[in-house]
Chain A
Amino acid sequence: MIIDSIVRELPSLTLQILSDQILNFLTNLFFFVAIYILITTALNIQYGYTGIPNFGLAFGVAIGAYATGYFPIRILYYGFFEEISSRVAERCPQIFEDPETALTGTCNIWINFEMTRILENDPVLSTGLLIFTLFVAVAAGALMGLLASLPAIRLRVDFLMMSLIAIAEGVRIIGMNYQPIAGGTLGIQIPSFTRWMSISYGIDAVQQNLLLITTVSIVAMAVTVYMLRSPYGRLLKAVRESEDAALAVGININRVKVEAMVIGTALAALAGALYSLYSGTVLPTSYTRYDWTFWPWLMLLMGGRGSELGAVLGATGIMALRRVISVYKHVFTGLIPFDVVWLERIAMGIAFLLVMIYRPYGLIPEKPFRLKEIHSLPAVEGYQKVRREGRLSRILGRLRR
């Protein structure tokens, strides 16, 4: 019966999507892929390169979003307070008594409307605030990474993981309840910083987001990949491979780990800021550990830890699959007596286990590091030849047996 109705529904659904939603779907997918590539790369710096099992990745994303929902809006609000308050005074008389509660509470939507109006006529202010927002998000993420690494960075891996989970849980509880940060469970709206483009140049909202997210994520990825391919990336890997050996050659391992936490969390915070700029809201209840910790982990493990291409492909593949499923989700509702989201979770858990059992190094494993000058030395070549032959003879021996 289930298969029957799927078969019946599929062609009409496909047509519908093809006709009017395919562009929408693809741009949507593009945004999510870009944001998740940043987050997965952030995790790759922390876990793939340095070996820090950051199961609190979501707090980086949340901090970036909270910074976006806090600082630029406050600057705009108090900078143009007279103009905004005179316009919304009719609908929101309480704005004069308690401007802070008015901003995060019920008046949020009206104040946001007025802010958008101010921003769309002022390209210089908009662009300035946009750059400021991204900067503040990265700075807040870096600070949070530093704070999060204080309690346990020098301890064993399992303690470190527990402390990071605890911090993520704490950030979530505070963000969800404490309304001055981002409106509590109701969230807070963010005015569009790119709307002036549609007034002066006729670029529509989707194109604006496309432009913004592409530019920022390409710059961020270029910087990150450059950093990871430099000797600094090898420093991180040295700490991951053997802490004792790294210590023996004079590396300050705790400092390297803290740096990896700071850089990774800053990158995750940038992704969080982009996500909230794209969606136009900061909704603290949406920074769940499933969406922003577990999925990126699965993406990284599936793609291959320690390989930049693996992280990118893992994020792209899984995100594409998830978006397709979410489009076809409503086919299932009504056929099964429970929410489809639980099936997705079960699939996620099973995918974790299968990847770990059958592909522990991911689909695109990390390439071993080679230095041309060293690997062309006769001694090294000779050693490798001996190793190759050794491996060959071992395989032959196994065949003979």
Chain B
Amino acid sequence: MVNWAVVAVNAFIYSTLIAFLTMGFNLTYQTARIPNWAHGTFAALGIFVTLWVTRIWGAHTYLAIPLSFIIVALLGVAVYIGVIYTLKRSGAPEILLLISTIAVDIILIAVLNIQADYIQDAFKLNSRGFLLRDEDIEIPLSIPGIYEGVLPGVLVISTGLLAFFTAFFLVLLYKTKFGMAMRATVENPDLAEVIGVNVDKINLFSWFITGGMAGVAGALLPLWFRSYPAIGSLIIINVFAASILGGVRSLLLAIFATYLIGFVEIIGTAYISTIIPQIGGVSTASYRPLIPLAILLIALMIVPEGFYGLWERFNEKRISAKKVVEG
């Protein structure tokens, strides 16, 4: 029988980790105007930071989080300066910038695979499909009458960090001058530049911080899920779907969409598997990635502007209705 509590915990941790990526993806999408296809593979780099820290250096698991943040953030900066900025300066159209992130993804996946081969060769460790659940700490929790037992550390840490980053961004964007400059860049980069905003600095910062967040998500991923070098190409579909369903212009609604898709995907797969165990000769769970894909396509057909667009439209109607009443 399916243990629905375990499925729900899986869905929650998965969605929380993807939410880090969705937030970062939306931020760079807005400031640099590029959907970063390599964003999932940024997280895949974090996965290997955890593997190195725990299994090869034998250090504490959570040391991987700050380390991965720094490494992947620097990678984000390097990609921005080395590829995006160079291409932008040479006047490349938007579409070539898009393709360049795919090229970066191809290179990164290859490098990760070479490194995975090296780990397998030199340390005799499994580097494709490894799971580090036993490296995680367990936090005892007892709510009398409801729950007695332990919580996986990754659940608490990831939720806490996601809340921290969300709060950080809300304060940064709406309470500081730098955040105002950032929002101005999102609104119109050319105009922002005219009034003295250093758009390159804003972009550099957003690639740094979003890279770092991808690193954090990647570092936490192997503590609960089986990880392999090409996992980024699987994750990025969820990120796309959540970003479009939530609306590329919002952070909070994108996080909400991430949770929605994560729960529908994982609980839906588990539920359908109990009814139809096999489709076309293989287990139903093999078709799991089709769920975010289907959500992505349906969202594009029905609400291409996402929940955020709906919210904006609703607000406009409310304001205009108010005006009619007042006027």
Instruction: Give the B-binding residues of A (Cβ under 8 A).
Output: 51, 53, 55, 101, 105, 150-152, 155, 157-159, 161-163, 165-167, 169-170, 173-174, 177-181, 184, 290, 294, 297, 301, 337-339, 342-343, 345-346, 348-350, 352-353, 356-357, 360
By DSSP majority rule, is chain B's interface helix, strand, loop, or mixed?
helix
Beta-carbon contacts under 8 Å, B261-298 to A: 279-282, 286-287, 289-290, 293-294, 296-297
Q: Does B150 contact A (CB under 8 A)?
A: no
Nearest-neighbor residue (CB-CB) of A185 within chain B? B282
What is the CB-to-nearest-CB distance from A347 to chain B, in angstroms, rounded to a whole number?
A: 9
* Complex CA–CA separation, A158 to B25 (angstroms): 13
B83-104 contacts to A, CB under 8 A, are 83, 86-87, 90, 92, 94-96, 98-100, 102-104
B296 lies within 8 A of A163 (CB): yes
C-alpha gap A339/B111 in the complex (Å):
11
Q: In the complex the two chains form, is B94's CB within 8 Å of A157's CB? A: yes
What are 29 residue pairs bridging A and B, where the CB atoms are less than 8 Å apart in the complex?
A55-B102, A105-B281, A151-B297, A158-B34, A162-B35, A162-B244, A162-B300, A163-B300, A170-B290, A174-B290, A178-B279, A180-B281, A184-B280, A184-B282, A294-B102, A338-B113, A342-B117, A345-B109, A346-B106, A346-B107, A348-B106, A352-B100, A352-B103, A353-B100, A353-B104, A356-B87, A356-B92, A356-B100, A357-B90
Q: Which residue of B lies closest to A158 (CB)?
A: B35
Contacts of B4 in A (CB 8 A): none
Known: A165-B240, A338-B117, A345-B106. 14 other contacts (CB 8 A): A51-B95, A150-B301, A151-B297, A152-B304, A157-B94, A158-B98, A162-B35, A162-B244, A163-B296, A177-B286, A290-B106, A294-B106, A352-B102, A353-B100
**1/0 per position for B235-250, CB-CB distance to A under 8 A?**
0010011001000000
**B106, B110, B290, B304: which contacts A173 (Cβ < 8 A)?**
B290
Shortest distance in angstroms between A332's beta carbon and chain B's nearest beta carbon? 13
A184 to B287 CA separation, bound complex (whole angstroms): 12
Does residue B193 face the partner (Cβ distance < 8 Å to A)? no
- Whether A53 pairs with B95 at a CB distance below 8 angstroms is yes
With A155-B300, A162-B240, A357-B90: A339-B113 Cβ-Cβ less than 8 Å? yes
B36 to chain A, nearest CB (A): 11
CB distance B106 to A158 under 8 Å?
no
**A-B CB proximity, top 7 nearest:** A178-B280, A349-B107, A352-B103, A179-B281, A338-B117, A345-B110, A349-B106
Question: A87–B281 Cα gap in the complex (Å)?
Answer: 26
Of A155, A184, A345, the residue contacting B304 (CB under 8 A) is A155
CA distance A321 to B141 in the complex (A): 61
State in angstroms the CA–CA spacing of A274 and B110 once bound together. Answer: 30
Interface bin, chain B: 35 or more
Interfacial chain B residues near A167, Cβ < 8 Å: 293, 297
CB of B59 within 8 Å of the partner chain:
no
Question: CA of A51 to CA of B94 in the docked complex: distance in angstroms?
Answer: 12
B190 contacts chain A at the CB level, 8 A cutoff: no
On whether A151 and B111 interact (CB within 8 A), knowing A159-B244, A174-B290, the answer reads: no
CA of A365 to CA of B103, assembled, Å: 22
Shortest CB distance B18–A (Å): 16
**Known: A166-B237, A173-B287, A350-B107. Contact between A342 and B113, CB under 8 A?**
yes
Shortest CB-to-CB span from B118 to chain A, Å, is 6
Q: A101 vs B109: C-alpha distance in the bound complex, in angstroms?
A: 37
- With A345-B109, A353-B103, A356-B96 known as contacts, the answer to whether A169 contacts B117 (CB < 8 A) is no
Across the interface, which residues of B come within 8 angstroms of A294, CB to CB? Answer: 102, 106
Judge whether B300 and A152 touch: CB under 8 Å: yes
B121 within 8 A of A: yes
In the complex, the chain B residue whose C-beta lies closest to that of A176 is B286
CB-CB under 8 A from A53, the residues of chain B are: 95, 98-99
A353 to B104, CA, bound (A): 8
Tell me if A159 and B300 are in contact (CB < 8 A).
yes
